[in-house]
A and B are shown apart, each in its own frame.
Chain A
Amino acid sequence: MTEALADFTLHRPESLESLAILRRAVPEARLIAGGTDLLPNLRRGLVDAPALIDLTALPDFAEIEPLAQGALRLGAGLRLADLARAPELAGPRQAVAEAARGVAGPAHRNAATLGGNLCQDTRCLYYNQSDWWRAANGYCLKYRGDTCHVAPQGKRCRAAFASDLAAPLIALGAEVALAGPVGERRLPLADLYRDDGADHLALAPGEVLIAVHLPPFAGLSAYEKARQRRAIDFPIAGVGAALARVTGGWRLSLAVTGTDSRPVAIAGIDDALDLPLSDDMLARIDKAVQKQVTPMRSTMISSHYRRLAASALARRLAQRLAEQARDAR
């Protein structure tokens, strides 16, 4: 018999309308999709949830839908195992499939969803521990306590957001569709996140992520994550990269996950790059990443390493995509 979970009621709405009714009726209910992030946290006593709302019976929730001009709508309920082998993600947008393939282990990916991946909790060595452990440590700023053990001087929680999918999706310019009490809205995915480990999602009360929209894209993309083991492990730094032709050259978009409390869209790379990328340009990319990510001591591996790994991956992916683009011409 494992440690008993705290009591809760499980609801399973079959339409957005009944979901909306439920959310009004039980505002403190938590959403659950695959449960591969929420249930480990529930087992460790990290979640107060008198009720859970299972999203997996919602209609059109797990569909991939091609839209006009090559845009794509990915339902938030898509399983990562399905994303990993979706033909729609085999070409220019393969970074998304690569990221999905790299999440956790195969059994998790059979359960885990896109929405759950993007809305997963932030992580920290001082947070993802048992209740005994956290109590012995005086809890922490993220949950029940008042100090961040990673940055005790600071005023906010520095837990890291480690969704693999967020990085390539941001690099590909994704938007999210949110359904809430006042209807649907669209938001750039990057804006879904806030730089606060204890409150990292910009979802309004009662809002649900229902889909991800990818704009038309004809370039190249890739995702690579640094981690200690080649499976199971979360990214200690993950980089999504997209390279596309624009007037006057090529545009490189980079986004980094696993280092900060939110995914970091790397800014300041020239709008129109020349290929092949010069050593000088690669060095600038490396510098930009090193400057813009701020990993803290929230993982077993050093924060310094995570910064170096993020920049090394960015440089490498940029170079690789540039070479592929040249070969394709």
Chain B
Amino acid sequence: MTRILRLTLNGRARADAVADNLLLIDYLRDAARLTSVKQGCDGGECGACLVLVDGSPRPACITLAAQCEGAKVETLEGLSGPGGALSPLQRAFHERLGAQCGFCTPGMVVSATALLRKTKRPDEGAIRAALEGNLCRCTGYVKIIDAVQTAAAEMAADQTAEAAG
């Protein structure tokens, strides 16, 4: 069956005709051309496809597009700041080498974004817990943890500065 799917994608309202059996990952990659959403495994095992659905990370490869009716969906493309400025997390992943080949990076940044929206200064344990479903084969995770910590510190410093100013 086909239906009209209405959702908010990276801040913009959209309506698309989708088949009931369309996976969210295929909708995002093929219909919306948001190719940051990566297919790293045959379903639910690697975290490369994570996107935010109403603020929580979800594996797009084992989610039906139709299950996102009315939802707010965000992909890595939608996480940059105004004018395409790098978010603190994006900048930290870049500057601290949290991304080597970059294939796991979209999922990593999505998970880390959800974490930092909820927890201002997560400790290392909290970062590990938030990223435990995201596999990376390049970094050994060392610099990924560093990147999240760096971004968190920067965001906290910005807020303090804002509060003071």
Partner of A10, one of B26, B47, B66, B130: B66
Q: Which of A102-110, A150-158, A195-203, A295-303 contacts B (4 or more CB under 8 A)?
A: A102-110
Could you tell me if B57 and A35 are in contact, using CB atoms closer than 8 angstroms?
Answer: no
- List of A residues within 8 angstroms of B39 by Cβ: 2
Partner of B23, one of A5, A108, A130: A5
Partner of B21, one of A8, A40, A110, A231: A8
Distance in angstroms between the alpha carbons of A110 and B57 in the assembled complex: 7
* Closest partner residue, chain B, to A109 (CB atom): B133
Partner of B111, one of A1, A5, A81, A107: A107
Within 16-43 of B, Cβ neighbours of A (below 8 Å) are at 19-21, 23, 25-26, 29-30, 39, 42-43
> Shortest distance in angstroms between A25's beta carbon and chain B's nearest beta carbon?
15
Chain B CB within 8 A of A86 CB: no
Partner of A106, one of B26, B63, B64, B111: B111
If over half of A's interface residues share one DSSP class (helix, strand or loop), that class is named, otherwise mixed; here it is loop
- List of A residues within 8 angstroms of B129 by Cβ: 106
* Closest partner residue, chain B, to A79 (CB atom): B56
* Closest partner residue, chain A, to B39 (CB atom): A2
Given contacts A2-B25, A231-B133, contact A107 B58 (CB under 8 A): yes
If over half of B's interface residues share one DSSP class (helix, strand or loop), that class is named, otherwise mixed; here it is mixed
Most chain B beta carbons < 10 A, residue from A5, A10, A44, A105: A105
Given contacts A1-B26, A39-B62, A43-B43, contact A232 B20 (CB under 8 A): no
Distance in angstroms between the alpha carbons of A106 and B64 in the assembled complex: 18
Within 50-68 of A, Cβ neighbours of B (below 8 Å) are at 52, 54, 56
> Shortest distance in angstroms between B165's beta carbon and chain A's nearest beta carbon?
35
- List of A residues within 8 angstroms of B63 by Cβ: 35, 39, 111
Chain A CB within 8 A of B45 CB: yes
29 A-B residue pairings within 8 Å (CB atoms): A1-B26, A2-B61, A5-B23, A8-B21, A9-B1, A10-B20, A10-B21, A10-B67, A35-B67, A36-B62, A39-B44, A39-B64, A40-B42, A40-B43, A40-B62, A43-B42, A43-B43, A104-B44, A105-B133, A107-B47, A107-B56, A107-B58, A107-B59, A107-B133, A108-B44, A108-B59, A110-B53, A111-B63, A230-B132
Which 7 residue pairs are nearest across A and B when measured between Cβ atoms?
A105-B133, A231-B132, A39-B62, A40-B43, A10-B20, A110-B56, A107-B57
